[in-house]
Amino acid sequence: MTAKELPAIYEPKKVEDKIYKIWEESGFFNPDNLNLPSDAKSYTIVLPPPNITAKLHLGHSAMLAIGDLMIRFRRMRGYRALWIPGTDHAAIATQNVVEKKIFNESGLTRHALGKEEFLKKVWEFLKETQTTILHQTRKMGSSLDWSREAFTLDDQRKKAVTQMFVDMYEAGVIYQGERIVNWCPRCQSTLADDEVEHQHQETKLYTFRYWKDFPIAISTTRPETKLGDTAVAVNPKDERYKKFIGQEFEGNFCGINLKIKIIADREVEMDFGTGALGVTPAHSMIDWKMAENNNLNIIKVIDESGKIHPGFGKYSTLSVFEARALIITDLKEENLIEKEENIVNNLSICYRCDTAIEPLPSKQWFVAVDKPVEKLSNKSLKEKAIEVATNQEIKFVPDRFTKIYLNWMENLHDWCISRQIWFGHSIPAYYCKCGEAIVSKERPKKCPTCDSTDLTQDEDSLDTWFSSGMWTFSTLGWPENFKDNHKSGDLKRFHPTQMLETGHEILTLWVSRMIMMSLFAIGEIPFENVYLHGMIVDKDGKKMSKSKGNGIDPLDMIEKFGTDAVRLSLLMGSTPGNDMRLSEEKIENYRNFVNKLWNISRFVISKTAEADINNNIEEKNLTFADKWIISKMENLIIGVTADLEKYSFSLAGEKLQEFTKNDFADWYLEVAKFEGNLAEKNIILGKILKDLLKLWHPFIPFVTEEIWTKLNADKLLLIENWPTAEDWNKIIAKDNNTDSDVFEKTQLIITAIRNLRAENKIEPTKKLKTIIYAGDDFEQIKDAEILIKNLRTSVGELIIEKSGEKPAEALYTIVGGIEIYLINEIDKIAEQKRIMGELENLKKYTSGLEQRLSNKEFIKKAPAQIVAQENEKLLQAKTNISEMEKYLEKLI
RNA sequence: GGACGAUUAGCUCAGUUGGUUAGAGCACUUCUCUUACAAAGAAGGGGUCACUGGUUCGAGUCCAGUAUCGUCCACCA
């Protein structure tokens, strides 16, 4: 094939869908088809299931790019690589989206529509978005095992959730209890703490007394709740009120009898209002806690629809706003209000409908996190979940999230898992009119107490995190694959999984719950590593959102620049846990790079047409340039592999880019042009390209696979073996005469030429390239090498050989020498200037060294090894100087 | 209020256990349409590593404090 036969511009659109189809049909996304030895290690990742509420955004794309990189890397390294796809039903979020949609289209509420009809609509919506999401996921090139696809609300997961609920109930972990919850009066549902948002609002702060002779004035923004006050809390340090602590008062507040106890609580701020807080246990989170601590009565004032309960005289049945206005009027009449001021406070609102949250006590299902569990050796879920992170059974990348996780876990409270919504997992609890409640996998035939068959199932649904918390094992066949404490099937082969790749914003919401649930269900951790990617923000560092209109649609970008470019721009320059800025320009830039790789390949393919690149390379035929690129390749493989192992994806990518552009394209390809059609060179070109494509594959799978097909490969790049440095090392290791730095030398010559070109007034490019690489003049490289050797002898042993660590430093000093030689050939005067500058530098360096070595402290305290090194450096530098001076003399 | 980060070139960021003169990409300047690539190539300019102290022979790197910005959590009576 010649380069002419391939277009100079790579067109992703023509390639990507075709390639993805080939991959998918090959079956290799499923590790069962990989033909691996039975002892092959597994590497499993479960994909965080995206909510089916909307199409994917760039955050998802980043997640897919990183996940796919990890899984492709492991697959090529011979692991049983499994990546499980799925979607999340996102109970409350989905219900709200659909509810809004229906209301906008027909003006109907879900109640008007009825549960059955409404759920039908939800499923219709769900199918639609699910299809979109799965399409987008494929477009990203994700090598997911679609045969194991799951949905958090499909039949298999329903079974698992029911089983889990029953198991937890029987172990006493799940209980029903009354607690203060965030209630949305519009959604008619509780909200988890993290579903509550806050909004600043201007409001009035009233300072008043309950009645005339009540000793303390209190401040409130919600006078209507004061009908249910049972205490006044003050700061224990507050001198003004100390004397009242423990006292009880009884009196009449707006026609209602109240018993008020004065309690002390550190949470009370002395500076706010009067420094005294009216405690309404039923309608404030903090008050509830105080009530628990002080054994206070709980009086419910507000009902589920936001109206005042019966029993509060004329206020009953009024809405909170009406009641508030009326109470203010009444208080004013009685002259109890002492102050009225405008303040800005933080209002809790529903994250879906922005309605103000009404905290109120309600009967809910909870997961107890502090209760000792028998099968966890009488440790609580919380204790176990903390333990596995503390002892590093689960490792977080980056490590700082271990602290965040632990901090959060330690403050964890019981988890409310019931939601008053229609869409979601049903709760396997059944109630009888006689008051009996039964928790059971199947609907019980009759009530065990009264034999009644009239049982009704709990109407609530489960928090979506309850089902997604089981994701690592519910996707691997739990509970069927877990009998008598023994794992079987997929669960045995793939659990615990190796990696969870997710956004750090759901570390607490999801990750912690997965850990607790896995520990409970199968007694093991769900994953060994958690890689937390950052948030994708726009180029100004702002969060991307629909309302701001600064979002970038991944599909648009793929359409415009190709998937590989999008993937690269998401992988490069991103470090775990840190937010990443992304702009269209960045994607465009990587599109250019992908095209560059394409063109490099075109060139190589045209050169290798006649050569059989499967032939072995004969070492004796190698030139310096060959050895240099081979050694570079060897280092590249080592470096990239190590970086990928430790999740430094961006660093690995940079190394690859550096090699591809600077070493391979800019220099070796140029050399190849001048060295003509040497068969050996073409074989090397081909072999390098092949390994380079393998190394790039996890980053940019499409273009590499496409080029791969042009190389007459017998199998897909997808399942090729990861390159090894040894293969390259073998080629050159046999050469006894090969100095450890022979390749670096070639590079140095190249550097010298570059410097020369920069300084010389002659038109250098072609001429110099010719001098170095072409025909007879190529001998000059060898001459240069002899010169280097001479220099080395005269300078003595170089640091590289002694320290073996920092060759570049030592070599830096001999660059001057090489340059002398080459430049001498062309322009002695220019050289003179150069060498003088060089000398100056060296002298500066030398004096620095001398200064350091004359420092007594240094001699005394620095390790002997360092001192010796420094001495040696000085010696070298001095020798170099004298060498250079000699050269300078010769020049003149 | 609690926890955790960040601050390095005009911009976006690397900098791998402390080690000689701190790097890349973009942008900028100059040159080149040289046959894989103008979606390109070559060369160049640009930095008091936020600030102040400390540890050390040696600090962008470790410690403490300050400032600014950010994220998460709690919470606003």
Q: Which nucleotide shows the minimum CA-to-C1' distance to residue A279? A: B77
Write down the H helix ranges in A528-623.
Answer: 554-561, 563-571, 584-607
Residue A460 has pLDDT above 70, yes or no: yes
Residue A144 pLDDT: 97
Q: Which nucleotide shows the minimum CA-to-C1' distance to residue A276? A: B77
Give me chain A's average pLDDT, please. Answer: 79
Distance of A131 CA from B52 C1′ (whole Å): 58
Distance of A768 CA from B34 C1′ (whole Å): 13
pLDDT tens-digit map of A279-309: 998 888 888 888 877 888 888 899 888 889 9
Distance of A349 CA from B68 C1′ (whole Å): 31
Q: ∠ at Cα A577 (A576, A583), nearest 5°?
A: 80
Distance of A608 CA from B7 C1′ (whole Å): 50
Average pLDDT over residues A446-459: 90
Average pLDDT over residues A644-661: 85
Q: Which nucleotide shows the minimum CA-to-C1' distance to residue A581? A: B12
pLDDT tens-digit map of A384-405: 999 998 888 898 888 788 888 8
Of the candidates A307, A332, A358, the residue with the CA atom closest to the CA atom of residue A204: A332
Residue A677 pLDDT: 54
Give the confidence band of A551 by pLDDT, cuts at 50, 70, 90.
low
Q: Which nucleotide shows the minimum CA-to-C1' distance to residue A6? A: B36
Q: Which nucleotide shows the minimum CA-to-C1' distance to residue A668? A: B36
Residue A257: exposed, middle, or buried by beta-carbon count in 10 A (0-12, 13-18, 19+)?
Answer: exposed
Give the confidence band of A59 by pLDDT, cuts at 50, 70, 90.
confident
Q: Which nucleotide shows the minimum CA-to-C1' distance to residue A856? A: B57
Residue A494 pLDDT: 96
Asked whether the beta carbons of A12 and A559 are under 8 A apart, the reply is no
Name A275's Cβ contacts closer than 8 Å, sequence gap at least 6: A234, A235, A238, A240, A241, A268, A269
Give the confidence band of A470 by pLDDT, cuts at 50, 70, 90.
very high
Residue A528 pLDDT: 93
Give the confidence band of A553 by pLDDT, cuts at 50, 70, 90.
confident
Give the confidence band of A880 by pLDDT, cuts at 50, 70, 90.
low
Q: Which residues of A326-359 are buried (b: 16+ CB within 10 A; e: fewer)?
A: bbbebbeeeebbeeeeeeeeebbbbbbeeebbbb
Q: Is A503 helix (H, G, I), strand (E, B) or coil?
A: strand
Nearest residue to nucleotide B42 when comparing alpha carbons to its C1'? A765
Residue A32 pLDDT: 95
* Between A158 and A878, the higher pLDDT residue: A158
Name A484's Cβ contacts closer than 8 Å, sequence gap at least 6: none
Q: Is the peptide bond before A496 cis (omega within 30 degrees of 0)?
A: yes
DSSP H or E run through A138: helix A115-139
Average pLDDT over residues A230-251: 87
Least confident among A185-199, A250-264, A856-870:
A856-870
pLDDT tens-digit map of A344-369: 777 787 766 778 888 888 888 999 99
Average pLDDT over residues A322-329: 90
Distance of A848 CA from B20 C1′ (whole Å): 9
* Between A180 and A115, the higher pLDDT residue: A115
Residue A794 pLDDT: 26
Supply A608's token pair: 């290798």
Residue A807 has pLDDT above 90, yes or no: no
pLDDT tens-digit map of A484-517: 999 999 999 998 999 998 888 777 788 889 999 9
Q: Which nucleotide shows the minimum CA-to-C1' distance to residue A182? A: B75
Give the confidence band of A99 by pLDDT, cuts at 50, 70, 90.
confident
Nearest residue to nucleotide B27 when comparing alpha carbons to its C1'? A585
Nearest residue to nucleotide B72 when comparing alpha carbons to its C1'? A505
Residue A739 has pLDDT above 50, yes or no: no
Nearest residue to nucleotide B73 when comparing alpha carbons to its C1'? A408
Residue A619 has pLDDT above 70, yes or no: no
Distance of A857 CA from B56 C1′ (whole Å): 11
Q: Which nucleotide shows the minimum CA-to-C1' distance to residue A10? A: B39
Percent of chain A with pLDDT over 70: 76
Q: Give the C-alpha separation, A105 to A99, whole Å.
A: 10
Cβ neighbours, 10 Å, residue A682: 23
Nearest residue to nucleotide B23 when comparing alpha carbons to its C1'? A654
Average pLDDT over residues A852-879: 62
Least confident among A168-177, A259-268, A636-645, A772-781:
A772-781
Q: List chain B nucleotides near protein: any atom < 7 Å from a Cβ.
A: 3-6, 11-16, 19-21, 24-26, 34-44, 56-58, 70-77
Of the candidates A572, A569, A597, A596, the residue with the CA atom closest to the CA atom of residue A585: A569
Cβ neighbours, 10 Å, residue A659: 23
Residue A746 pLDDT: 45
Distance of A571 CA from B27 C1′ (whole Å): 22
Residue A793 pLDDT: 27
Q: Give the C-alpha separation, A633 to A691, whole Å.
A: 9
Distance of A407 CA from B2 C1′ (whole Å): 10
Nearest residue to nucleotide B40 when comparing alpha carbons to its C1'? A596
Distance of A638 CA from B59 C1′ (whole Å): 30
Residue A721 has pLDDT above 90, yes or no: yes
Give the confidence band of A833 by pLDDT, cuts at 50, 70, 90.
very low
Give the confidence band of A229 by pLDDT, cuts at 50, 70, 90.
very high
Of the candidates A224, A220, A227, the residue with the CA atom closest to the CA atom of residue A206: A220
Q: Which nucleotide shows the minimum CA-to-C1' distance to residue A221? A: B77
Residue A48 pLDDT: 92
Distance of A649 CA from B49 C1′ (whole Å): 24
Percent of chain A with pLDDT over 90: 30
Q: Which residues of A87-113 are buried (b: 16+ CB within 10 A; e: fewer)?
A: bbbbbbbbbbbbbeebeeeeeeebeeb
Distance of A398 CA from B52 C1′ (whole Å): 30
Residue A579 pLDDT: 77
Q: Which nucleotide shows the minimum CA-to-C1' distance to residue A870? A: B20
Q: Which nucleotide shows the minimum CA-to-C1' distance to residue A535? A: B71
* C-alpha of A132 from chain center: 23
* Between A634 and A847, the higher pLDDT residue: A634
Name A70's Cβ contacts closer than 8 Å, sequence gap at least 6: A45, A499, A501, A531, A698
Q: Give the C-alpha separation, A174 to A172, whole Å.
A: 6
Distance of A404 CA from B25 C1′ (whole Å): 32
Residue A252 has pLDDT above 60, yes or no: yes
Distance of A72 CA from B11 C1′ (whole Å): 33
Average pLDDT over residues A124-137: 93
What DSSP string runs through A778-809?
GHHHHHHHHHHHHHHHHH-S-HHHHH-S-HHH
Asked whether the beta carbons of A552 and A544 are under 8 A apart, the reply is yes
Residue A425 pLDDT: 95
Give the confidence band of A868 by pLDDT, cuts at 50, 70, 90.
low
Nearest residue to nucleotide B19 when comparing alpha carbons to its C1'? A866
Distance of A579 CA from B50 C1′ (whole Å): 20
